[in-house]
Each structure stands twice: as structure tokens, then as C-alpha cells.
Structure 1
Amino acid sequence: MIKKILIGFCLFLSAVTWAQEGTSSPYSFYGIGDIKFKGTVENRSMGGVSVFNDSIHVNLQNPASFSHLKFTTFTVGANYNNVKLETESQSEKATRTTIDYLVVAMPISKKFGASLGLLPFSSVGYKIQNVNADPTQTSSRYFGEGGVNRLFGGLGYKFNDNFSIGADINYNFGNISTTAVDYIPEVQYGTRELNESRLNGVNYNFGMMYNRKVTEKLTVFGSLAYSPESNMNIDNERNITTVLVAANFNFVPQDEGITQLSTSKLKLPSKFVLGAGIGEVRKWAVGAELTMQQSSSFGNRFNDIDNVEYENSTKFSFGGYFIPKYNSFNKYLERVTYRAGFNYENTGLIINNKAINNYGITFGLGLPLGGSFSNINVGVEYGKRGTIYSGLVEENYTNIFISLSLNDRWFVKRKYE
């Protein structure tokens, strides 16, 4: 047990001190960047479905699930992203490897469960160059980095075996930096606009889960989760200066430039998630979820971005799992959990009057470790976001995700000293 705690502590420190570049998408320029967290590996492997409660896996999308835990669980998840970026005239490839979450969750009584964790909530990361064929005309370079991290704590309460509720509080914080450089190749100097934002704020998430046996084998599942609208505080700094432009996105400032300071608030939209499913516990289950977000109230860090609008977003997820025989003693593959799913999302982002949609299909495995309740979960997602039309970018991506879930009993009163 001590070794597990030390491993978790070291990984937690490494995540706090390691600044990740978690995306390569040009769409991360807008708002607070790409929303990175889409559930644990177990849930993502089922298309994002989180309607099922579990005694050994952490479900971070609905805090009511914490009350169903039977073991203290430490889990860490990571993601490898490979994406092909295409326009009407060219294409590029990019890869990223990131830590997705670090979480400790535990039962603290027969009715209560709690969770504490850290995860990268959103990410900004892109490099774009628009070179004019005429060296006497203006060319541009754009790049950005940073994002928003989330530190959260949650509590779940189980009224009985069928019904539970929960809530968590999230502290969001981070820094985002975006740069635009305009230059004429035949002119020695160009102009740089550097925008830096420091963000922080608090939001809440509430949930409830319900399950009931309808036959000797079949159980129905239902879940609700709601996040009310909240504000993020933003301290903005904009610096405009003359630069000497070099290769590989490098530049050397030639003067102090003009700095503008401002403070503002950015709304995080409210979100409502409704889920339902059916299955045989520890054997199989299928479920679906509908996520509705009031994204039309969302905005950008700066008010002078005029090619973007927001509309309310909708996401549909469907998926499930199958375990041939969870208590098999001599056939390992029968104890493996097989997962699959798909999702479709209208992201709510409209650029150049074109809605940005996203869809993906997922597959995954839950691999038991030895004779314990610990496990390794792996999954893969194939998807597409955006379009090559209207001067936009289409992203064809593959995500490979993996998590380690270590389970043990804590707070067990000894019968003998």
C-alpha cells in the first residue's frame, strides 16, 4: 500500500510541475481552448457514456457515483493523439502525448464516498503560417500555448442501493498565450501582437444516479448531471511591438512595445446530461447519454475576434461493455472487460458561418491485474472534427488512451493488534 501511495504522490507532483502542450488544433485559439477532459478511459471507451455506477472504477462525470465505491482507488490516465490537419490545398500531421487526470477516490462510510483530483480541463496549442506568394505582400504567423487546469473535490451520498446523489466543486486556473506576427518577407521588420491571459474561477457539478432490477438478471440505469453557469475571471495583457522575424516561428523584439491591460469575465455555460441504460450487472450493459450545453452564452478572451459565433451545443453518446465471466479462475480473457461506443457532437462553435461538428467511434479493454481488483484500461478513438470548406481545417484524429487503476481497502479496523 505504501508503494502505491508513493507512486501516486510522485505522479501527482510531476503533473503539477510539468506544463503540457495538449493539443495541436487551430480551433483551440477560440474561447479557453480545446476542452480536453472527456471522461475517464473506461467511460471514453464506451463513447463517453457514464450512466453506469461501479464499485472499483472512478466515474468523474457524475459525482453521485463516488458513493458506490467499495475500494480506495488511485487512477492516472494518459492520452496519445495523432491528427491529420487538412485544408482544401494542403495537409499536415501532428502528435501529442499528455496526462489526462490524476485522481484518488475512496468510500468513507457505507453511504458516503469522496474524490479528489487534478486534470487539464482545456488546452491551447497551434502553429500556423500563412505565406503570401508575393514577397512584397503581408504574410502571417500564429501560435498559441497554455490552457486551464482543474483541481476538484467531490462527495457522493447513497440513500439506498438504488438511488444516490453527489456534488463536486472545481477550481479552474491557468494561463493562455497567443501570438500573431505580420511581416513582409522583403522588409526586415514585422509587427507582433502578444496576448496573455491569466484565468481563474470556481464552478460546481451536481449529479444523481438510479438503478433498479426489473427482472432476476436485468437492471435499468438512469443518471442526471447538471453544471450551472459560472464565471471565470480573466486578467488580459496585450503587447504590440516591432520584431525581427526569423525562421521556425522565431522572432526578436526590437522595442518595448505598447502594452494594454484589462480585466474581464468569461462565462462557462451551463450543462445538462441525461443518461439511461440497461444490462446485467458484471456481465453486460448498454446505455446512451444526451448532453446539452448553453454554449450560446460563451465568449472569447478578447472582444475583437469577429469571425466566430457560438450556438447551444448538443452531444449524443452511445456505448456499453461486455464481460464473458468476471469471476473466471483459469481463463484470463473471460475476465477482460470489452468496451465500445460512438458519439456525435455539435460543438457550438461557428467559424466563418460554418458549424464545427465532431464525431468518433471508440473501442477499449479493461485488463485485470493478477488476483486483485486493480486493472489497466486501454482504448482507442477514431474521429473527425471540422471541415475543409469556408477556409477552415478538417481534423482526422486517432486517440490512444490508457489508465492505471489501483484499488485497495483503507480504514479497515483491525480485529487483532
Structure 2
Amino acid sequence: MIKRFIVICITIISSAAYAQQGTGSPYSFYGIGSLMSKGTVENRSMGGIGVYLDSIHVNLRNPAAYAGKSLEGPYFNGESRPVKFTVAGTASSSTLKSNNSEGEANTATFDYLAMSVPLGKFGFGFGLAPYTSVGYSLDDVNDEDVLVNRFTGEGGLNRVFAGLGYQVTDKLSVGVDFNYGFGNIQNNALEIKYTPEGDIVQYQTSEFNRSDLSGLSLNFGVAYKTKITDDLELTATATYTPQSKLNSDNERSFSTVTLNGATLDISGVSSTIDADLETQNLKNTKLTLPSALSLGAGIGDPKSWFVGAEYTYQSTSDFSNPVFSNDISTFENASKIAVGGFYIPDYNAFSGYLKRVVYRAGFNFANTGLVIKDESIKEFGISFGVGLPVGNRNLFSNANLGLEFGQRGTTNENLIQENFVNFNLSLSLNSRWFEQRKYN
């Protein structure tokens, strides 16, 4: 039964990986898309905090967790920490509202695939995860409710990472992630012209832009854990991502197109001209990715409960993209506050499956750093989740289900407000590769 359940979960996640694009947010039009790298399902179910580090879950927020050692006592009979594997996917549903219209967007996406391997006082981790996603279709209408522009986009930036953690003392661990980002972003802009009589002009103009992105970045982490009583453990964490650069190979073209009279979609292309970006010094450019700092702390009995908070600051005002710019948006520094935790009735109960289930909850509030028409785009979310034990109970593997409810944006200045629901599913599997054999 357990094996069948695991196969079903992997099938669902794999389907999400090949389903429609990872976001339907109109705000993915700006910058390099909507941020997708928000940690594991366990993190997201606790409001997004990455403070909690243990020996049975992969933590994608803090590389110091690769070498993290539990102070609450040996889960594995004094043996080595387990090899940890995790994979996840998300299905999202959003309602998009403006002052005079409403729409819906549904997406499914692969979230991450990662593994962490213990190496004595060291720990090694690696994996793959989307970093940003672009997926929008925006219609611009004039005061007479007539469509004059249509913008569409797709793509995003993916991240391959490998990291190393080191246990400095029983209480202190440090780590670093090496990230390689790659992907592309494609944007289409269609300007629709009409005759004085209000009929659609036969030939229209469409602009196509594409940027192929690649670059390296680092993420440093530190974690400190100490017992303050026999039952209570205090955790403090910090991560820092320095500013980095992305190489961007760009192309732009203009096409003469004809439209379907009913849907106003492009039905044919008459001719295409490639723009000379070389003479404008825009053929090969560099994008600045801002630095970020996170500080967190939490307290709890790791076998029973935990509550923590985390503050993240990102110098988003440093972001720059010389190829794609507009007159209505700018960037300011971003910040986020997240609070969350978990509760386990009895992690080692011999009877009563629900006693071993991990119950999680949290909330967060963020200023995304995006400013449109002088309106700062903010986001609020509340989340719930459960960790369901699966497989050999001595390995503490689990399937994690999470539900996030949130709101992004505003209807002020005729902008769009998103109300979204995310359903998250992950597998967190543990294995004993390095168990020492004992003989009597």
C-alpha cells in the first residue's frame, strides 16, 4: 500500500512538471518573473519559515542544514544521519480582479528535486528547482473598452544547486550553496490598430523578445541550536545571498501579422524583421540579481512542537534589466516577515496513526519590491499542512500536504488583485546507506 501511495505521489508531481506553465500571475510580466523558490512544502506550510532544521527533512533555504545535527537525541539508535531525498509539485488556482473585470488562472508546476547525503561532520546536498516563472496574458483596453494592446509571456529561470555543510561544534553548523541559473524568457507585444469606422486594420504589428539567461550565484548559511532546558531547544539561523549577475543573450523581432476577427489572436505572419541589437549594445547584456539576507529564530521541543519567525530583506532596488523596461514600473527594496510552526501529538506512538502526524501552520506578509504606478505590490499568505508518516517508521519518511491561501496586489490605479490557493504535495524519504553493522 505504501509503495503504491509513493508511486501515485511521484506520478502526480511528474504530471505537474509537464503541465502548463508555472504561473498565471500578471505580475510575472515584470523583472524576470514571479519568484518560485520558496523552500520545501514543509517550509511553506509553516508560513515560509526556514528556521527549523532537523535530521529527517531536506532544508532548501539554509545550506547549514546539510550538516545539521539533532540535539534532541538520536532518532537512529546512535547511527549516522540518514540520506534524505525529496520531490514536490504544486497546483495553483487564482482569481484575478480589476475594477471592472474578473478572470481565473490555473497552473501546475514541478517545485524541486533534491538530495542530502551525510559525510561525517560534513553534509552534501544537490538538486534542481525553478527559481522564477513567467506566464501571463494581459489585455490593455482604452477608455471606450476597446482592446488596443495584448501582452503575453512565458518561460523562467531554473536553478541547479550543489552545497556543502560543516558541523563546526555540536551546536553550530555552517554551509554554502553553489547555484547555476539557466532558462529563457519570451515576451510578445501586439499593438492593435483600427480604422476610423472602428474596423480592425488588415495588417498589425507584433514585437517578439527573447532572453536566454545563465549565471552563477552563492548562498551562505549558518545555524545555531542549543538546549535551554531539558525539553526546550533554541534555534537561530541566518542566510546571505550576495549580489550576482546573469548573462543575457537577447533577440528582438518585429512581424507584420493578421488577426482572427473573432478572438483577435494572431492568425498569420506576413513578414518578420530582426532588430539590430548589436549596434544598441543590447545583444549581450548582464542582469543584476539583488542580494538577500534572512534572520530567523525559534523555540520548541523538537519531538513535539516548534514555533519560529523569520525576517528577509532583499535589495531589489538594485535589480536592472537593460533590455526590457517600461515607464510604469520600478523596483524598491523588498522585505518579508514569516511566522509558523508545527505540532506532533506523539512522534513515536505505537498505536494511533494520527498521533504521529505532523500538523503545521503559519502566515507571512511581504512587500515584493515591485512598484507599479506608484503602488507597492504587497502579498499576504496563510498556510496549513500535514506530514503523513509513510514506509518504515524507524526512518521517519513522510508525505507532506500543504494548502496556502493568499492575496497579491491591489485594484488601486486599475491594477490587478490576485487571490490564490496553492495545493502543495511532496515526498520526504529517508534511507540508511551507512548503517554500521553490529555483531554479538
Tell me the TM-score normalized by structure 1.
Answer: 0.93
- Contact 1:30-1:300 at 8 Å conserved across structures: no
Q: Does 1:253 align with 2:269?
A: yes
Cα distance in 1 for partners of 2:271, 2:392 equals: 65
Which residue in the other structure is 1:221 paired with? 235
- 2:39 is the counterpart of 1:35: no
Give deviations 1:367-396, integer Å, cap 9, x for gaps.
001433211001111110000111211000
Partner of 1:119: 129
Q: Take 2:303 and 2:259, find their aligned partners in 1: how far apart are those partners?
A: 61
Q: SS of the counterpart of 1:376? A: strand
1: CA distance, partners of 2:266 / 2:368: 33
- Please give the secondary structure, in 1, of the residue aligned with 2:413: coil
Residue 175 of structure 2: aligned partner: 166
> Superposed, which structure 2 residues align to 1:201-240 within 5 Å?
201-240=215-254
Q: Is the 8 A contact 1:357 1:386 kept in 2?
A: yes
Paired with 1:16 and 1:199, the residues of 2 have a C-alpha distance of 23
Amino acid at match of 1:25: S
CA contact (8 A) 1:126 1:145 kept: yes
Distance in 2, matches of 1:251 and 1:179, equals 15
Instruction: Please list, as runs of the form range in 1=range in 2, the aligned pairs for 1:11-26 lying within 5 A after superposition.
Output: 18=18, 21-26=21-26
| Counterpart position of 2:78 | none
Whether the 8 Å CA contact 2:245–2:286 is kept in 1: the answer is yes
Q: Distance in 2 between matches of 1:100 and 1:138?
A: 35
Percent of pairs with identical residues: 47
Q: Does 1:53 align with 2:53?
A: yes
User: Against the structure 1 CA distance between its residues 274 and 289, is the aligned structure 2 distance closer, same or farther, given a 3 Å change threshold?
Assistant: same
Report the residue type matching 1:265 in the other structure. K
CA distance in 2, matches of 1:353, 1:381: 28
2:426 counterpart of 1:403: yes
Deviation at residue 188 of structure 1 after TM alignment: 1.0
Write out aligned runs for 1:13-412 (5 A). Answer: 18=18, 21-68=21-68, 70-109=81-120, 111-131=121-141, 139-184=148-193, 185-246=199-260, 247=263, 249-261=265-277, 262-300=283-321, 302-372=323-393, 373-412=396-435
Cα deviations by residue, 1:102-142 (Å, 9 ceiling, x for unpaired): 11111122x1111110011100001122355869x762211
Shift of 1:14: 6.4
Contact 1:145 1:176 in 2 (8 A): yes
Deviations 1:130-164 (A, max 9, x none): 355869x7622110000000000011111222110
* CA pair 391-260 structure 1, distance change in 2 beyond 3 A: farther
> Whole-Å Cα distance in 1 between the matches of residues 362 and 204 of structure 2?
49
8 Å contact from structure 1 (residues 76, 101) kept in 2: yes
| In structure 1, C-alpha distance between the alignment counterparts of 2:118 and 2:246, rounded to whole Å | 32
Q: Could you list the runs of 5+ residues in structure 1 that have no partner in the other structure? A: none
Letter in 2 for 1:146: G
Question: What SS does the corresponding residue of 2:64 show, helix, strand or coil?
Answer: helix
CA distance in structure 1 between the partners assigned to 2:151 and 2:125 by the alignment:
39
Q: What do residues 311-343 of structure 1 show as CA deviations (whole Å, max 9, x unaligned)?
A: 111100000011111000101111000100000
| Distance 1:186-1:134 versus aligned 2 partners, 3 A rule | farther
1:66–1:33 Cα change, 3 Å: same
Distance in 2, matches of 1:205 and 1:231, equals 14
Indicate the SS of the match to 1:260: coil
Residues 133 and 160 of structure 1, relative CA distance in 2, 3 Å threshold:
closer
Contact 2:17 2:110 in 1 (8 A): no
Question: Aligned residues, how many?
Answer: 408
Which of 87-96 and 406-415 deviates more?
Answer: 406-415
Gaps of 5+ in 2: 70-80, 194-198, 278-282
Do 2:58 and 2:84's aligned partners in 1 also have CA atoms closer than 8 Å? yes
CA pair 300-138 structure 1, distance change in 2 beyond 3 A:
same
The one-letter amino acid paired with 1:233 is N
Report the Cα offset of residue 189 of structure 1.
Answer: 1.2
Once residues 115 and 155 of structure 1 are traced to their aligned partners in structure 2, the CA distance between those partners, rounded to angstroms, is 6
Local SS of the residue matching 1:186: coil
RMSD: 2.3
Q: Partner of 2:196 in structure 1?
A: none
Shift, 1:47, TM fit: 0.4
* One-letter amino acid of the counterpart of residue 338, structure 1: Y
Partner of 1:44, secondary structure, is: helix
Partner SS state of residue 58, structure 2: coil
